[in-house]
Amino acid sequence: MENKDFTCVILAAGQGTRMKSDMPKVLHKVCGLALVEHVIQACRSIGEPVVIIGNGSEKVKALLGDGVSYALQAERKGTGHAVMECFAQAEINTEYTLVCAGDMPLITGASLEKLCACMEGKGACVLSASMEDPFGYGRIIRNADGTFKKIVEQKDATAEEALVNEVNTSVYVFKTKLLADALKRITPANAQGEYYLTDCLEIINRTEPIGVMCLEDATEAFGINDRIQLAEAAAIMQRKINNMHMRNGVTLVDPCNTYIEAGVEIGSDTVIYPGSYIGKGSKIGKNCILMGGNRFDNAVVGDGCTVEASVLLNCKVGDGTTVGPNAYLRPKAVIGNNARIGDFVEIKNATIGDGSKVSHLSYVGDATVGKKCNIGCGTVFVNYDGKHKHRSVVGDNVFVGSNSNLIAPVELKDGAYIAAGSTVTRDIPSGSLCVARSREYIKEGWADELRRSWEREK
């Protein structure tokens, strides 16, 4: 639950040179969200986030929009300097300040809440983790009674300190007044000439105790510096996402080859086969069968649907409907209940009514199709005249024969019947037959004579 006593400062100004990318490090994605978006989501339960931006600041702001506040660190002079800039630019009046790195996508709101709960009687609290291989991390050094003593960086650690497995995750909570005072007193007295936020802990510890909370799951402390670590974090998160869905009653035939992004909703007793990619914003109902080769992005699928080897983008599918194989539902496609969208069918900005069938090899664009219609094989809704898009309307119980062209704008009223091979250019009244093709011309013996001429040429 959001707490007005906390401000969440997220460090996202770094360049991330090891990513070897023109894009800021914090904008690289894990399971459908940018690194910094994961951190923001975790912080939302604590308080309002302030994102410190620097490298690629406009790109970061373009992604995050007005949902967060910003502070600019024009020159990168260390973590302490970043928080200094935040205090100088943002009005921070809360009792406590939480500081998180923007490249820790696995951190959870539950862990941050536990850390904040440790602040009673403390000047600050540090989030730590126990790692089998702590190399590269700053070590948490404790006093004999187990209380916090200091943080020692890898390069400064003695042989004995280097054996410590408890590491600093770069997540802290401070009493805001103590942090503001400590920031005024730290100096760039190090080889890099940077202001270290950890120096504030040493200053605060002179007058008030520092708490330490060790993560139950050390993977939450995973920070991203290169694309190898990005892939490792994605694998960890994907496993957690898949396990969550399976615990909720979803069958994943092969979890190692099923990719579900963060925030996806899936109903119980749905079965998902290998090779499926279900993107963020998607909602899948109960008792569905998703065969291999599907790609969903912001797709809403009702209960009892079957989808096979198809692409569904920003669309909606009703209950009991089958889609595919190899169908393409483009943005603003809305499919009703108990409908059938078959193989190599493309639907764009169109509504297909309950019980209607578009079984194969058809394009339906910019159209409204009513209930219990049959759109025959090879039908094309011709919606573009070279400059403008036009819309077609098909009523209920309409039959459109194979290889028909509907030249928009056109309306086929309830119960109309379009003969196969027709090109329809005007509205068809209810219950009428439309035959829009040339009459057959038959010349008996013509084919036989043609073949005899071929024989004479030999």
What is the 3-class SS of the chain, one letter each residue? CCCCCEEEEEEECCCCHHHCCCCCHHHCEECCEEHHHHHHHHHCCCCEEEEEEECEHHHHHHHHHHHCEEEECCCCCCHHHHHHHHHHHCCCCCCEEEEEECCCCCCCHHHHHHHHHCCCCCCEEEEEEECCCCCCCCEEEECCCCCEEEEECHHHCCCCHHHCCEEEEEEEEEEHHHHHHHHCCCCCCCCCCCCCCHHHHHHHCCCCCEEEEECCCHHHHCCCCCHHHHHHHHHHHHHHHHHHHHHCCCEECCHHHEEECCCCEECCCCEECCCEEECCCCEECCCCEECCCCEEECCEECCCCEECCCEEECCEECCCCEECCCCEECCCCEECCCCEEEECCEEEEEEECCCCEEEECCEEEEEEECCCCEECCCCEEECECCCCECCEEECCCCEECCCCEEECCCEECCCCEECCCCEECCCECCCCEECCCCCCCCCCCHHHHHHHHHHHCC
Lowest mean pLDDT among 20-29, 183-192, 233-242, 435-444: 183-192
Tens-digit pLDDT profile for residues 439-450: 888 999 999 999
Closest to 328 in 3D by CA, of 345, 315, 342, 307: 345
Task: Respond yes or no: is residue 81 known to be catalytic.
Answer: no
Tens-digit pLDDT profile for residues 380-428: 999 999 999 999 999 999 999 999 999 999 999 999 999 999 999 999 9
pTM over 0.85: yes
pLDDT average, residue stretch 26-38: 97
What percent of the chain has a predicted confidence (pLDDT) above 90? 91
Distance in angstroms (rounded) separating the CA atoms of residues 275 and 228:
22
Question: Given 28, 360, 388, 390, which residue is catalytic?
Answer: 360
**pLDDT of 184 higher than 80:** yes
Q: Which two tokens stand for residue 11?
A: 């460090």
**pLDDT of 379 higher than 70:** yes
> Tell me, what's the pLDDT at 4?
60
Q: Does domain 250-434 have CATH number 3.40.50.2300?
A: no
415 contacts 397 by C-beta, under 8 angstroms? yes
**pLDDT of 3 higher than 70:** no
pLDDT average, residue stretch 93-102: 96
Predicted confidence band of residue 2 (pLDDT cuts 50, 70, 90): very low
Distance in angstroms (rounded) separating the CA atoms of residues 124 and 210:
5
Q: Say which CATH topology domain 6-221 has.
A: Spore Coat Polysaccharide Biosynthesis Protein SpsA; Chain A (3.90.550)
> Tell me, what's the pLDDT at 1?
37
pLDDT average, residue stretch 284-309: 98
Tens-digit pLDDT profile for residues 226-267: 999 999 999 999 999 999 999 999 999 999 999 999 999 999
Domain layout of the chain by residue ranges: 6-221, 250-434
pLDDT average, residue stretch 292-296: 97
Predicted confidence band of residue 189 (pLDDT cuts 50, 70, 90): confident
pLDDT average, residue stretch 292-316: 98
Tens-digit pLDDT profile for residues 339-377: 999 999 999 999 999 999 999 999 999 999 999 999 999
